[in-house]
Amino acid sequence: MSSANFEHLHAAMRSQVDQQYLPGVSYALLRGRDVVDRFCYGHADREASIPLREDHIFRIFSNTKLITSCAALLLYDEGKFGLDDPIETYIPELRDRQVLRSGATRIDDTEPAKGPITIRHLMTHTSGLSYGIFDPGSVMFQAYNQAGVLNPTRTLAEQMTVIGTLPLSFHPGTQWQYSVATDVVARLVEVVSGERFGAFLARRIFGPLGMHDTDFWVPPEKRERFCALYVGADLLDPMKPGLSRLDSRPYPGAYLARVPNEAGGGGLVSTLDDTVKFLQSLLPGGPNLLKPQTMALMGQNQLPAHLSVQFANMPPMTWRGFGLGSAIAIAPDRSEPANVVSEVGWGGLAGTIWWYNPRMGIAAVLMTQRHMGFGNPYTFVFKKEAYKALGC
């Protein structure tokens, strides 16, 4: 494809940096497995005037969920578990669940769950688990934070013990709620494989795919390639220009040393190139990470007709279903291209995004470091211009 195809997209992304919505941005567009456009602009560290390069390392937060889901599905492909198996078969700490009663104001106002959490529930965020991030002021937010569910000093096994002491937000399978479910999936990988989660990822995914910069920490010899993290001037107004440095998230010193918790829901760092390699392994045209039927299952909406993606205190996103680990576009939002239907994708808390559309044969990865950036206007600008540039 001619470079002229991408001029409007390049200009749009430069504008996002120049207007101080993003510190820097790098991306890759794919048609099939072929990278047809790469772009890099802005800074990895604004204060030190370090230009962003394609080999810079990013906090990918919930982009980790795709990798964790695929790790579990590698074991599913080997017949090690069924999607509708109760998770308590593998993680007994999660048996005999209690559920918070509707309208409860106390964490102990519960009733017995009507059924067990299944692995499918975990992979589709319909398990009843919570996060303690997106619903401040709620009973579950307070309970999750008091219990330290996301404490990095706990192993995945220890984290399961803590989660097992807390009730569910709803009966499994009856609602959608973003949660620590993918951390539970990471522990499932450990139990079924008999390996530490990070070791399994290194042996089965990172090594074979050549993802040399993807890990749960940034070693000293790579530290100069680690991007600074920024936050917008106003979290409630993402179009207000201005960025402030915020390296202390999710906690001071994060990613600078190994910690016991290898968080399957959001603990990895990676690069543009590594993320492209991973996405290519899920696309037709070469050796695939998973069986074709499993890949097809990942891209199918697994939610019942009355459910869709819905974050706390927000209206339901009726145009988004959920597959095995990622959102599925079942209709275009008004801000999206019409051809977005069938797109599989998600993003991370620091603004990284990825998507692929098996129907159109295209894919994209965008890397930046803006805290709470996923879902900001730049993501829609990027998608609109990317689809246009790819002739879709």
Q: Over 70: is that where the pLDDT of 264 sits? A: yes
- How does pLDDT run across 327-385, given as a tens digit for each residue? 999 999 988 999 999 999 999 999 999 999 999 999 999 999 999 999 899 999 999 99
* Bridge partner list, 205: none
- How does pLDDT run across 296-325, given as a tens digit for each residue? 999 999 999 999 999 988 899 999 999 999
pLDDT at 160: 98
Q: Over 90: is that where the pLDDT of 243 sits? A: yes
DSSP codes of every residue in 54-122 = TT-BEE-GGGHHHHHHHHHHHHHHTTS--TTSBGGGT-GGG-S-EEEPTT-SSTT-EEE-SSPPBHHHH
User: Shortest CA distance to 187 belongs to which of 119, 281, 289?
Assistant: 119
Q: Over 60: is that where the pLDDT of 246 sits? A: yes
Collapsing DSSP to helix, strand or coil, 26 comes out as strand
Domains and CATH numbers, the chain: 3-63+212-389 (3.40.710.10), 71-197 (3.40.710.10)
User: Shortest CA distance to 64 belongs to which of 332, 352, 362, 373?
Assistant: 352
pLDDT at 313: 85
User: Mean pLDDT, to the nearest integer, of 262-282?
Assistant: 98
User: Mean pLDDT, to the nearest integer, of 162-173?
Assistant: 98
**Residue 151: how many other CB atoms lie within 10 Å:** 14
Q: Over 70: is that where the pLDDT of 4 sits? A: no
pTM of the model: 0.97
